[in-house]
Chain A
């Protein structure tokens, strides 16, 4: 499903000095896996996740997604892949302000080939347990509920790959557990999940753990 080989990512600071966020990283993830990426702050977790999500491109190395080498893809091509194959979940939920839960969930459909399907969005919101919150705005929802809206939004185009960057980071432990259970269900359905965290309790849900250290792979082991 995912094949990362010799990927490096170098950012340039405002003053032009280069920062190496990823240094010659290689790993593979097969379809249906549940993988966590751990590591101290600044170790490159978000950087690798953004590359996996086709939101960013590696400075060097190749990235194959479902057999496709996307390294040289154009903005349009990458956008199509994000739209159809990938669902993102962020630490800070990132719901669009002054927009209802339902409208938030509908957004990815705008960029797909189909038209906006309100019934489908309602069904997906039901699925994450928010059937009675469809008309609520982000500010009217608890953190856990907002994150569930975000998950529904990530699911609406039925992606094979879910990428979550510290999805429980802003939640209390109860809400965090609920989110993790939801992600686990999605994995049971057959979706591949890559989750960035530095919480041990969260990491215990996954069968495999990749630890990053200073932009390189520190360890990659099964935790089953």
Chain B
């Protein structure tokens, strides 16, 4: 008997015992559909997270130096930061670490009232150096970003985010208008292109950028930074750069060899890896659940096949008497299990793709079909049919035709 003939036989036997076939399929169906959903949604979530993270940090080819030893929760601001990271530290990193292309200095504060006429907003006020836009790869939609001259002259100029524009200038052109940050008047020079939502879901557009020198001397009266962003010449060099910056900073801050750093260096690439790692741990756990469902499905297949074999002893005897060898019987029963579990797998994929579509629509995620997961699913259902069908099929080959045919 050929394999094709065997598949035809298996198909017929399945359509003769629909209820049994259904029960044999359920486990595989549930397992495969959940696997498909988990994998596709997981992949989709991961890509969305990466996208949002990228929006927040702008570019991955940087290392970020923050004041303070421990990892602080949330965003550091001037009120919470230790006053140890100085402007000169940033300059030293730029000039003394060969791997660094440029360094941006940052001073940021929250909860500062910003007013224009009778309108008010409380965006994040961030003092940055003039290379900020270039370093991050951000863009302005209107006007021009402030320059090194503005930095030098401590110009009171501001670049506002989209949310600030909406809040303060709902129906007028903000360019060259004068708004107040705290009590200090600033002239709007440009509007930032929208960056959308960050990793936590909050808007990244509720922000005002001003020259960091102006921020330090005219607004906040602080001579330390909340953050320094150092851009690498070659993204591969981040570890070397971190090592060199650490050494440089320890030297500049005169930290004794036994003492801990008074600063923290992170790399967005590493943080990103951590974020997606968490995601994939979760999906691994869920995949375990799906695999357990499939193993249960396999055991159901095996028990129902065993029952079928003992119910069909006479059929086995007849087939043997008309010329079926042990191998033919083995093939027939293995193929029955295989056809049922593969069909269960295919239906599972269909259900899974439908489920994925729903979840993705509900959570507003990008639509991604994880083709490798589908391949895995098909492979798994075939393997399950094979593994759990083999024992009953072997039992079938051991049915003695003479005994089975005796009246």
Q: Do A108 and B5 contact each other (CB < 8 Å), given the known contacts A50-B402, A79-B328, A94-B317?
A: no
B1 touches A76 (CB 8 A): no
Contacts of A31 on B, CB cut-off 8 Å? none
Chain A residue with minimal CB distance to B324?
Answer: A111
User: How far is the CB of A128 from the nearest CB of chain B, in Å?
Assistant: 16
Q: Judge whether B323 and A56 touch: CB under 8 Å.
A: no
Residues of B within 8 A of A215 (CB): none
Indicate if the CB atoms of A83 and B5 lie closer than 8 Å: no
Q: Name the residue of chain A whose CB is nearest to the CB of B407.
A: A92
Report whether A83 and B315 are in contact in the complex, using a CB–CB cutoff of 8 Å: no
Write the A56-82 contact mask toward B (1 if CB under 8 angstroms, else 0). 100000000000000000011001101
Q: Is A116 an interface residue (CB 8 A)?
A: yes
Q: Chain B 377-407 against A: per-residue CB contact (8 Å), 1 yes, 0 no?
A: 0000000000000000000000001100111
B86 at interface (Cβ–Cβ under 8 A)? no
The residues of A that contact B317 with a CB separation of less than 8 Å are 94
Q: Cβ of A157 and Cβ of B323 under 8 Å apart? A: yes
Fill in one digit per residue for B96-125: 1 if any A CB lies within 8 Å of its CB, else 0: 000000000000000000000000000000
In the assembled complex, the CB of B336 is this many whole angstroms from the nearest CB of chain A, namely: 14
CB–CB B407/A91 < 8 A: yes
Q: Cβ of B323: which chain A residues have Cβ within 8 Å of it?
A: 79-80, 82-84, 108, 111-112, 157
Contact of A82 among B12, B322, B326 (CB under 8 A): B322
Contacts A98-B16, A110-B1 given: A79-B406 contact, CB under 8 Å? no
Dominant SS among interface residues on chain B? helix
Interface size class of chain B, counting residues whose CB lies under 8 Å from the partner chain: 20 to 34
CA gap between A50 and B320 in the complex, in Å: 12
- When the two chains form their complex, are residues B407 and A79 in contact, meaning their CB atoms are under 8 A apart? no
Q: Nearest Cβ distance between residue A130 and chain B, in whole angstroms?
A: 18
- The residue that A83 contacts in the complex, of B9, B17, B322, B405, with Cβ under 8 A, is B322
Whether a CB of chain B sits under 8 angstroms from the CB of A55 is yes
Q: Does B321 contact A (CB under 8 A)?
A: yes
A79 touching B324 in the complex, CB below 8 Å, given contacts A56-B402, A94-B317, A94-B318: yes
Question: Which single residue of chain B is at the shortest CB-CB distance from A76?
Answer: B325
Q: Is the CB of A107 within 8 A of B402?
A: no
Q: Give the residue name and chain of the B residue nearest to A77 (CB).
A: B325
Chain B nearest CB from A99 CB (Å) reads 8
Using CB atoms and an 8 Å cutoff, list the residues of chain A in contact with chain B. 46, 50, 53, 55-56, 75-76, 79-80, 82-84, 88, 90-92, 94, 96-99, 103, 107-108, 110-112, 115-116, 153-154, 157
